[in-house]
Every structure is written in C-alpha cells, then in structure tokens.
Structure 1
Amino acid sequence: MTHGKLAHRISAVRAVKWDIFCSVVDNFGDIGVTWRLAKQLVAEHNGVVRLWVDDVSAFARICPAADANADCQVQQGVAVHAWHEQWLDTDPADVVVEGFACHLPEAYIAAMAARERKPLWLNLEYLSAEEWVAGCHGLPSMQSNGLQKYFFFPGFSKDTGGLLREAALITERQAFQAAPAARPAFLRGLGVEPVAGARLISLFAYENPALSSWLEALAVNRQATQLLVPEGRILADVQAWVGGEQLRAGDCRVHGQLQINVLPFIEQSQYDRLLWSCDFNAVRGEDSFLRAQWAGRPMLWHIYSQEEGAHLDKLEAFLKRYIDGLSAPASEALLSLWRDWNSAQSVSKSWSLWLENAEELTVHAEKWCLEQASHTDLAAALVQFQQNWI
C-alpha cells in the first residue's frame, strides 16, 4: 500500500474534528440550526465537535441544561465554547464551519493558513429554495492567504446540501402521531389540557399586524380552536388582541370558539413534539420552518423580513416548489394565506379558503415531508463533502 493510500485510510478511520462558529444575530434561528447540526455530527458521524457561540445566554435558552456563564461546557457530546471578542489562540479543527457568513477571528484564520494540512473551510449558508442555489453549492472561493472557502447551501433539491434532519426523526415523529395517548400526555406535561374536538394550532412568529384578523376568524369559526403560543415576539400582538393585559406562560384566555394557551419557551425536542401534536403550525425564520415540514402537518411560514423585499423572492421560490402536485383550488388557498400573512394583510378570507381545502393540504404536507426526507440530509452531505475533499 502506498503512503498516500495509507494516509487516506487513517484519516478516514479517525474521528474528524469540527469547529462550528455561530454569531447570534437575532432571535434563535442561527444557534438553533448550528446546535442541531453539532449534536448530529457527534451522535451520527462520530465527530469531535466544538461549537463557538458569541452569545451563550441565547444557547442556554434552547438548551436548559447549559450554563449561560460558562466559557466551556460539554452538552450532549458537544464542547460548547464562548466566542469572546478577545480571541485566545486555538488549534483549528479539520473542518471549520462558518455559520451563516459570520466572520471568523483573524487569529484563527491565520492559524488555519499556518497548518501544514489546511482545514476544510465551509461557509454554511441560509436555507433557500431559489433556483440559483444549486449552481453555487460547493463552489470554492480562493482567499488572499492561500486558503479556500467553500460555499455550502442547504436546499430542497438533490443538487444542494440537503436539509437538517436526524436519521430517526421521521420514524419517531410518525410513531408519536400514531400513538393516541402521546399527544394529550405531552400537552399535559406542558400544563395544557387538550380541548375535545378542537383544531390544535401552534403559533411562533414575528410581530404581525395580520394576527388580529386571524384570531377573529378563529374565534367565530364553527369548529373550536386551541391556539398554543410559546413565549416569544408574537405574544405582544396576542396580548393586544385579548385586551392589553400581560400574558405569561400558563395563562389561558377564551374568546368565542378560540382558546389561547401560553406556553413557556421550550427546548428543541419539546418544540418538535409540539409541532407533531398540532393540526396546523404557524412558524418563523429557518429552524422552526424546517421542523414544521418534518412534522408532516400543514403550516404557515412567517419569513424573516429583509431590506428591499428580498425575503419575498425567497418566499415565492419556496411556494413554487411546495405547491407542486396540489389542485388549483388548494394551491390558490395556500398561496393566498401565505402571501397575506407575509404582507401583513387581513387573512380572514384566505383562512376561510384554506379551511375549504384543509383535507388536501393536510395530505400534501405529509407527502412533501416524505419526499424531502428521501434526500441526503445536511449533516451527512457535509460529511460526504469532507470525505470527497480529502
């Protein structure tokens, strides 16, 4: 065996070291995605992972076992480090993941360039369904110091980096939804008593003037609705609608056919189960948007607003993919609701139209989920990219 082949085999056998950098820009999407990825690389790919976070308090919100003041701690096999502005010299890992174009410390980049065996440097981009993503996925960018940085794009087609999904996720979700006692037991564990015969909806969104029209429509609908609202930014709009009184976790308000239950901010595995429990999920950003798809239930996405309406192009790109296979009435119902919600317009008419097509849209949600789950997941695609790069 040649020295080159032997070195390749040894590198393939030993555990790969990963450094994932996360700058918490807003909300919990960035840390939510990078934390899930870090856990999966450890659990499913034998990775040795350090997660560098510039706001450990945000990490502690989604990982209650974490110490918000610790400089270094191990959680679920991942070494979580506080990313301080004053950087301490650290040996770079084999693979360096720059979460969502955050800027790595200059000293760390210099250490990467000084290594005899250069690390694989990946810029993990935001999720988008836009067609240009496939053409840019995996492209290198030569840096002035001789390093190469590769652009890694998650996406909804086989020629992208795939979607973040744990290996057993769909099986676990389907088992949960098939067990009659699972949903009521989970809800009671959150302090919520299920309302018999009610449509169960979760609401996790940014502030939205369209909310009042939706709540009014739910309150007068023939079928009762139980709305589960985790503490977050949309809660202020809910408070305004119920009369302005402050709402806290554990509070319950009833208006006509609508019962509102306020939930505490919950960690990721609980949030997944909340999505699995509901008949319809209103979600936001990237992490909850993707987890709602894995729930196999109808959803409504509140995309993060960007300057000059750039987010609307991303919204339309996803809708174009998502409505494939729907009948014309169901397609129009979904498009109307999502567009009204994301343009802060009244959703009373579009929600009524959605309800008329609810059965088809529910079947479609599971079909979409299984289709996307047939593709290579993001963590596995990253590992394959690293192995091919060696």
Structure 2
Amino acid sequence: MSLPSQQTNTRQQWDIFCVVVDNYGDIGVTWRLAKQLAAEYSIEVNLWIDDLNSFSHILARLNPELARQQFDGVNIFHWKAENLTHFSIGNVLIEAFACEIPSQIIESIVKLKQLTPSKVPIWLNLEYLSAEDWVEGCHGLPSFQACGLQKFFYLPGFTSKTGGLICEKNLFVERDAWQADHTNKMRLFQQLGLTGIKPEHQVISVFSYETPALLSLITYWQTCKSNIHVLIPKGKSLNSITSLLPCEIADLIVGQQISLGNVTLHVLPMTDQQGYDRLLWSCDFNIVRGEDSFLRAQWAAKPFIWHIYPQEDDYHLIKLQAFMQIYCDNLAPDLAKNWCELNLAFNQGNQITVANHWQRLDFTNLSFAQHVKKWPITAINDADLASRLVQFVKNS
C-alpha cells in the first residue's frame, strides 16, 4: 500500500493510535488528550481507534459505521487496514499504551527519512500512568528501532520529572463553580433519571471491577441511619452484587431503582466525559477504576477509592502503594492510615475488613476535606500532560 506524502500545511498534525483493551479506559484517556490538544493548542489531531462501538458509549454522537468523522475539532478514524489510505505523514505519531503503529506507516516514514530526514515525525509511546519511582528515570528515553527510526517513551506521572497528568486548562474553575451551587447536582440527578435524592442524602458513585468488597460495603451501608444512594452503571460493578438485584443484570433498565432499606441502588445511564466529570463533582464519594476515571476522581476534589486493574502476582498492589504514598504525603497520619487501609482492603476484596475501615474513616473531617481540595493543585506540578507533551515535542 502506498501512503500519501507528508502534509504540507503549516498547522501541526498529530496522529494518535489506540487499541481499546478495557472498553473505556484506553479510549477515555486518548479522547481527552486529543480534544485538549485540538482545543488548547490548535493542533490537527487524527485519532485512530480500532473499536468505535466501545467509543460510542462515551461519545453518543459517534457513528461506528463511518470510516472518518469529526467531533470537537478531532478527526476520528476507524483504524482498520482499508482505512489507512486516509493516512498522511504529519509531525507526531503517538502509540497509546504500547499499541503498534501499522507496519505500512512505518515503512512509509523510513522512505521519507531517506529522502527528507528533517520531515520525519516525532514518534512517541504514551504509557500508562504510574506513581512508581522508576517512572522519572524512564520518562523521555529514546529507543532506536530495528527499522532505523527513533521512538521516545512518554510516561505520565505525578512529579515534575515525568510526563504529567491530563487536565484541561479551566477544569478546576468549572468544578468549583459547579460545586458552589447545590442545585447543579440536583438538576444533574434529575436529568439522569435519578429520583428520590434529597440534598442532605449521601450519594456514592461506583465504577469498579468485580470485587466481593463492594457487596460488603453495601451490606454495611444498610446498617447506617442515613439515606444512601449508590449510583452504578450497567457493567462489571453489578456482577459483584447480584445477590441484591431483583433480576438478571441484562434485564435491568437505565433509571431503575432498587430499594434496600435506607440504601437505594440506581442504575446509571452511560454518559459523555463532561457528564461523568459532573457526576463525580456531585457525589459525596466516588469508587473508580482504571486510569481515566481514577484521575478524574482526584480532580473532583472528593474522597474516593481507586480499584486498580488486577495484575499477576498482585503487582497492581505495588502500583497502588506507590500512589497512596504520594497522595498521603501531607495528610495527617491517622487519616492517611485509615484511607490507605480502606483502599487496600477494597483492592484485596477483603469482605471482613473493608467495612471496618470505611467506618473508621471520617470523610467529613475538615483536614481530609481540605486535603482532597488541595491535592489536584499539588498533583499538577505547574504543568499538565498536554502542555508538557507539546513542549517535549518542541524540544525534540
């Protein structure tokens, strides 16, 4: 296959390739990054996705049958062999999460290097987010490929020596304005078809993997005196609480409510990314998973549990410990201990201890409330991922 030559306009063109592995996590990160690069840096972004059906769950306007379409200033391509005829060599190539750029594209760039070396695009491998110490030493390292091209490893992270964290320029301002008026959250709940929620009720969102710890928490919440609303989309979280459901998961309908005494389960509809951000801003507590929702829960400035993706030999717990260490750096020792134990118990699926740790942690504690509000500013470290990425490309 012969590919078109390099684009000739002066506007930068970046191509981001993404293989959808876990339904929403990978595409969630790349979609946010693509939108931000287009909106804040006027970059022409081409987003190549292999699974448009999964993508359409967080971008309802997307037509999974189309080879090419545009939303929010981003060109979206269905990544399959016959559609690569649309590809033209731009300024930057990004492999998201170690997916492999098609060989015919690499071959075309190798030919371009032979003719015009100065026109060869910057090739980056955007890795998963981690708080581990080794990230600083590996971020930005070049890797010479067998084809003769050079690829850089770009590693997101929480320190100034890493690739940073995805965060739109005005996000915190928008969040603060939203949270300053409680009618915003009540209006959102109404729009989502969630009835029976009053301003004084406790609202908890759940977007987790399967774990018996979730069943244990809900069982404990049933013993509490307060009214608690648990918001759960159809998906993996519900697999953990089938004993509480009145029917098969497939038979549940969006907006359905399941009354468990003082606890009400609400079946959430899928929402776009802005809607999900607002949902996190509106809840008192968020249980999240993966990478995208994990980071957005931090930006929500609300207490949360991170259900990290399970890995062999419990390596995911090492990643969890690394994050908990930096997250709790400026937190009072007793609060830090209780929050860490709660997250660890949830990730270990410990039904016995998770409820005890929940009971011990006072989420209304002023110091904890101040911490979750201050943490996003600390974590950004003066520059978000998109800003650092643009600067990295410029320096390269």
- What interval of TM-score do these two structures reach, taking the shorter chain for normalisation? over 0.9
2:302 & 2:120 partners in 1: Cα distance?
A: 44
SS at match of 2:88: coil
Match in the other structure for 2:218: 215
What corresponds to 1:142 in structure 2? 144
Matching of residue 33 in structure 1 with residue 35 in structure 2 = no
Stretches of structure 2 that go unaligned for 5 or more consecutive residues are 1-7
Letter in 2 for 1:328: P
CA shift digits 1:156-200 (9 cap, x unpaired): 001111100110111000100012321111111111132342111
Moved more, 283-292 or 239-248: 239-248
In structure 2, the partner of 1:352 is: 359
Q: Quote the Cα distance in structure 1 between the aligned partners of 2:189 and 2:363.
A: 28
Per-residue deviation, 1:325: 1.4
Q: Distance in 2 between matches of 1:77 and 1:46?
A: 9
Aligned-partner residue type, residue 222 of structure 2 = A
Code of the aligned partner of 1:207:
E
Q: Report what 2:68 is aligned to.
A: 72
Q: Which amino acid aligns with 1:239?
A: T
Which stretch shows the higher mean deviation, 365-374 or 161-170? 365-374
Which residue in 2 is equivalent to 1:343?
348
Question: What are the Cα deviations for residues 106-162 of structure 1, in whole angstroms up to 9, with x where unaligned?
Answer: 101111222222110000000000011011100000112221100000000011111
Q: Which amino acid aligns with 1:184?
A: M
Letter paired with 1:366: K
Amino acid at match of 2:182: P
Q: Which aligned pairs between 1:98-247 and structure 2 lie closer than 5 A?
A: 98-115=95-112, 116=116, 117-193=119-195, 194-246=197-249, 247=252
| Alignment-mate amino acid for residue 12 of structure 2 | V
| SS state at 1:181 partner | helix
- For residues 161 and 248 of structure 1, the distance between their equivalents in structure 2, rounded to whole angstroms, comes to 41
Percent of pairs with identical residues: 43
Q: Could you tell me which residue of structure 2 aligns to residue 60 of structure 1? A: 56
What is the aligned counterpart of 1:249 among 251, 254, 279? 254
How many residues were matched structurally?
378
CA apart distance, 1:98: 0.4
Match of 1:380 in 2: 387
1:8 is matched with none
Deviation per CA, 1:56-87, whole angstroms, max 9, x where unpaired? 11111110011011111111111100111456
8 Å Cα contact 1:283/1:302 also seen in 2: yes
Decide whether aligned partners of structure 1 residues 136 and 374 sit closer, same or farther in structure 2, where only a CA change above 3 A counts.
closer
Q: Structure 2 counterpart of 1:92, which letter?
A: I
Q: How many Å separate the matches in 2 of 1:374 and 1:44?
A: 19
CA distance in 1, matches of 2:81, 2:349: 38
Alignment of 1:310-321 (within 5 A): 310-321=315-326
Q: 1:376 offset after TM fit, Å?
A: 0.8
Tell me the equivalent position of 1:366. 373
Secondary structure of 2:221 counterpart: helix
Question: For 1:356 and 1:304, how far apart are their aligned partners in 2?
Answer: 25
Separation in structure 1 between the aligned mates of residue 84 and residue 205 of structure 2, nearest angstrom: 43
Deviation per residue, 1:253-287 (Å, 9 max, x gap): 12122111111111111000000001110000000
SS in 2 for 1:220: coil
Contact 1:329 1:357 in 2 (8 A): no
Q: 1:228 to 1:358 in 2, by over 3 A?
A: farther
Deviates further, 315-324 or 112-121:
112-121
2:46 and 2:280 map into 1 onto residues whose CA distance is 29
CA contact (8 A) 2:77 2:83 kept: no
- Deviation of the 1:355 alpha carbon: 3.2
CA positional deviation for 1:248: 2.3
How far apart are the structure 2 equivalents of 1:65 and 1:42? 18
CA contact (8 A) 2:159 2:381 kept: no
Contact residue 162 and residue 375 of structure 1 kept, 8 A: no
Check whether the contact 1:230–1:264 (CA below 8 A) recurs between aligned residues.
Answer: yes
Q: Is the 8 A contact 2:281 2:302 kept in 1?
A: yes
Mean Cα deviation higher: 72-81 or 359-368: 359-368
Contact 1:87 1:107 in 2 (8 A): no
Answer yes or no: is 1:268 the counterpart of 2:286. no
Alpha-carbon offset, residue 327 of structure 1:
1.5
**Offset from partner CA, 1:264-317 (integer Å, 9 cap, x none):** 111111000000001110000000000000001111000001122121111110
Distance in 2 (alpha carbons) for counterparts of 1:339 and 1:32: 25
Asked if structure 1 preserves the Cα contact closer than 8 Å seen for 2:209 and 2:307, the reply is: yes
Contact 2:225 2:262 in 1 (8 A): yes
* TM norm structure 1: 0.93
How much is the aligned-residue C-alpha RMSD, in angstroms?
1.7
List runs of 5+ in structure 1 lacking aligned partners: 1-10
